[in-house]
Structure 1
Amino acid sequence: MDSWYSGGSSSNTKKEPIIRDMVHEFSEDDEQEEYITEEQTFPTSSNDNVQSFSRTTHNIHFDLSKVDQKNLDSSQIASFVVNSVKANPSIPIKTIIMEIKNRLGYLVTYKKTTVAKQKALAMEFGDWDESYNHLPRWLQVVQDSVPGTVVQYITRPYVVDGVQDESNYILERVFWSFKPCIEGFKYCKPIVQVDGQFLTGKYHDTLLTAIGQDGNQNIFPLAFAIVEGETKEVLIWFFQLLQAYVTPQSNLCMTTDRGTTILSTLQSPKVVSEEDGLTLVYCIRHITSNFNKRFKNVDLKRKLINMGYEMKQLTLQAKLSAMQAEFPQAVS
């Protein structure tokens, strides 16, 4: 991950902190890409999930009369679409391509447009380094604004040519839980679901989430962490913090996928003990997804989901017997 600047000047700035996920980076070599023709198709999806917060404004007037379409580069495109990107930071690349086509009458490549969007985001919201330099201050502001919010992070020294730079540190992982989430869980069901999601921005880390459920069966966010991966060491760190600050109650029901690492972690004495009374169950969504990958039967998947939510043991056994009679290969 990128380095954090720890100098005093960054903590005194009045500039709005930025936390976001951006598109994949491309090198300047992509400037040499040829234009595509109208007959060519575009990718059906892209990783353009961007969330940004800034008070910076750019009033850029793009003179269409001076556009040299054959030499239109990503910087010109960025200036052209910056207002669109500002209004909707998650605007799809295909939309930008068609906007250029409609305004200039020419189709540009997907890569060139992606580079342009990245430059437009940097013009409006700052770049990756700037965003990471704001992160420690942002975390501190959250704790100051919402007293009782828990933030824990681990860094390592930034070393260049064997010499440690005392003013910069590398972010390894960060855990946070807002005070209202901590307090609110006391009035939720004793159920916690933990899941991980790969991040697809410049830094390919993992977002861990812990979610509860209130009395109306609505999801209730509990805690979050950005970590380097779902290793046993990382998961032990996450569950220890979760138990210490958010879910100290005993007799909880923990819902997870069937990943071997997370199951091994929850059996570690560093995480749980017999006195905790932890009950481990599997997420029905993950079970049915894996089930459908093998049998590829939507109706069978629906029946399995219904059984997963069945509260009565006798009814569950009856449904299971009916499925076994109809689909013997699916029930062993």
Structure 2
Amino acid sequence: MKKKNHHMWKITCWVDAHNCFGSCRGNDNRSLNSTTIAFYIIHSVEKDIAYQVKHIQADIKNILNVDISYWNAWHGSRKVIENIYGTWESNFANLPKYIATLQTSNHNTVVKWFRNPNGSSHVATFKYIFWAFRPAINAFHLCRPVISIDAFRLRGSYTGKMLIDVTKDANNNILPISYAIVDEETTHSWSWFLYRFRHFVAQDSQLCVILEQHQGISHAMENLEEWKEPLGYHRFCLRHIRSNLMKKYKNVRLKSFCWDIGSTTQKKRL
């Protein structure tokens, strides 16, 4: 290293067996970039895609005896994942091919697209997509006529929501029925999803729908002719009711009573 008080250089560390990294600890060696880190961790990521950054840092420390930053480790992991599974952009570009393959492998699988009306005339970009596997549709008609619907936030570069409905079979196993990917939970997206579920999955079946207290869902259930009584009966999710109750009344016994009352299936005989 070059001393600050004069123009002389000073050797601070001597390594008999030379390599690019030496035996330094905690340095910022430019040779140790994310590409090099990716080379050392590729097999670990192949075994476990959830390979944590802190474990990458520890393993690189053991292998090369060099500390690396959190972001260097993260970028190295991201490069390996993109090499194996592709980038966010390439995966979204392949979505139509993927859906087409699903339909080929699962005959009579229902897939419906809603194109973005503001998209380019040369490139059709999707706003919503709905799909339901034929085996799940057939199994649904053998289950009890009760479904639960909810939404989950997607993570990554392309945010959005996944809408899903499930039911239970005779053995109390959960059966996912249909799915949709939308940009946001809105009255329009929920109405679009529920309309297609009714026409392509449930058809004329009488159903009890367990739903969360979301205005988009409630509006769709109240205004769509296909979901009005006697075709559809609406009930709120007990978990959400209990959660809202606990926000106002923080009492463990009351929480237990709420669940017992809500899950009771028959009247108590006096």
Against the structure 1 CA distance between its residues 280 and 76, is the aligned structure 2 distance closer, same or farther, given a 3 Å change threshold?
A: same
Using structure 1 for the length normalisation, give the TM-score: 0.68
Aligned to 2:182, which of 222, 227, 230? 227
Residue identity (%): 28
Residue 221 of structure 2 aligns with which residue? 266
Residue 65 of structure 2 aligns with which residue? 105
Whole-Å separation in 2 of the counterparts to 1:114 and 1:296: 40
Aligned to 2:74, which of 101, 110, 114? 114
Whole-Å separation in 2 of the counterparts to 1:76 and 1:271: 58
After TM superposition, the structure 1 stretch with the greater mean CA deviation from structure 2, 84-93 or 196-205, is: 84-93
Residue 8 of structure 2 aligns with which residue? none
Q: Secondary structure at the match of 2:202?
A: coil
State how 1:97-246 maps to structure 2 within 5 Å: 97-156=57-116, 164=120, 166=122, 168-246=123-201
After TM superposition, the structure 1 stretch with the greater mean CA deviation from structure 2, 149-158 or 188-197, is: 149-158
* Offset, 1:102: 3.0
Size of the aligned set, in residue pairs, is 247
* Offset, 1:271: 4.5
Whole-Å separation in 2 of the counterparts to 1:298 and 1:115: 45
Matching residue's letter, 2:111: V
Matching residue's letter, 1:125: Y
Which has the higher Rg, Structure 1 or Structure 2?
A: 2
Q: Secondary structure at the match of 1:202?
A: coil
* Offset, 1:275: 4.5
Q: Deviations over 1:40-70 (max 9, x none)?
A: xxxxxxxxxxxxxxxxxxxxxxxx9434752
Q: Secondary structure at the match of 2:51?
A: coil
Against the structure 1 CA distance between its residues 134 and 176, is the aligned structure 2 distance closer, same or farther, given a 3 Å change threshold?
A: same
Residue 90 in 1 paired to residue 45 in 2? no
* Offset, 1:270: 4.9
* Structure 1 residue runs without a partner (length 5+): 1-63, 319-332
Against the structure 1 CA distance between its residues 308 and 88, is the aligned structure 2 distance closer, same or farther, given a 3 Å change threshold?
A: same
* Structure 2 residue runs without a partner (length 5+): 1-17
RMSD, matched Cα: 2.3
State how 1:224-303 maps to structure 2 within 5 Å: 224-276=179-231, 278-303=232-257
Q: Indicate the structure whose relative CO is greater, using CA pairs within 8 Å and at least 6 residues apart.
A: 1
Whole-Å separation in 1 of the counterparts to 2:97 and 2:190: 26
Whole-Å separation in 2 of the counterparts to 1:300 and 1:274: 33
Using structure 2 for the length normalisation, give the TM-score: 0.83
